[in-house]
Amino acid sequence: MEIHFSSSFACSLLIILVFLGCYSEATAGRGGIGGGIATYWGQNIREGRLTAACATGKFKVVNIGFLSTFGNGQLPQVNLTRHCSPICNGCWNVSAGIVNCHNDGVKVMLSIGGPHGNYSLSSGAEALDLADYIWNNFLHGHSTSLRPFGYAPLDGVDFRIERGEFSPYYTLLARRLHDYGRQWGRKVYLTAAPGCRFPDNYLTKSLYTGLFDYVWIRFFNDRQCQYNSGDPSGFRRSWMQWIHSIPARKFYVGIPASEEAGDGYVTPAVLIRDVLPFVKRSASYGGVMLFDLSNDVQTNYSSLISGRV
């Protein structure tokens, strides 16, 4: 039996198909990441205020970095470069930013470690002392001295350990922070930013505990596992190793927000077209981590992948 369509019906059908094709292409970058965006704030004045970053509506998590001095008998110290100086109690303005971010539904974390600084944990006592300090000065505890960011509590702690010797005591630090939260009925989120090469020299043992909520894998500055459009096998193998080995809630693809931010930069178009379709197949995929906000401000990367242009 032959079915004949009128010319007007065929024309209408063609218009609908063209419209759907254009719609699909236009929306490929809007919400195409299928998850949230996390970033780092605190290392460059050009990134602006914390309040402004959260008000964009683009970020799910903002990591304040870094608490980059601790261990070896040192008083823990935050370094926010040119934003403010905690030593002189000059970072209380960050407290208002934390409150505003919470009102916007954004989680704010204290990131410890970082690519620079002088930090280490050489004993269990140092790990417990650091946990106590973080709980009392940045989370829901109480300090006898002025808290560096005022009295607004952060949501948790991000582990970005990439310097010094391997230490088994970061696991003890994570457990102590987790136990503080359970003891006082306050959820303490734990996140981590390991390098993409598995296993990570500093954090893998801690991550095996299952205490961590989000893991943003740094797929940059390591050509063995950062994304390579000519041969993505190293990236894909690394992603699969992480998500099948570590019992975390969600995993994020960590990438530089600009070419200046690190080796391994991929354009927003390549991220959406080539990278995300692979990782989004995983039930534990959580989104994208952009390093860092100061670079994102220059490239508008987060807007391009979230559709908020």
**Which residues have a catalytic role annotated?**
162
Cis peptide before 199 (omega within 30 of 0): yes
Question: Minimal CA–CA distance to 212: which of 177, 240, 244, 184?
Answer: 177
**Distance of alpha carbon 11 from the chain centroid:** 49
Question: Minimal CA–CA distance to 60: which of 77, 41, 82, 36?
Answer: 36
Query: H or E stretch including 137?
Result: helix 124-138
Counting beta carbons within 10 angstroms of the beta carbon of residue 233, is it exposed (0 to 12), middle (13 to 18) or buried (19 or more)? exposed
Q: Which two tokens stand for residue 284?
A: 């534990």
Phi-psi region at 262: left, alpha or beta (left = phi > 0; alpha = psi -120 to 50): left
Q: Measured between alpha carbons, how far is 57 from 55 in angstroms, rounded to an integer?
A: 5
Name residues whose C-beta falls within 8 Å of residue 256's C-beta, 6 or more positions apart in sequence: 220, 262, 263, 264, 265, 290, 291, 295
Q: Measured between alpha carbons, how far is 301 from 307 in angstroms, rounded to an integer?
A: 10
Backbone dihedral angles phi then psi of residue 179, each to the nearest 5 degrees: -65, -35
Q: Measured between alpha carbons, how far is 8 from 89 in angstroms, rounded to an integer?
A: 74
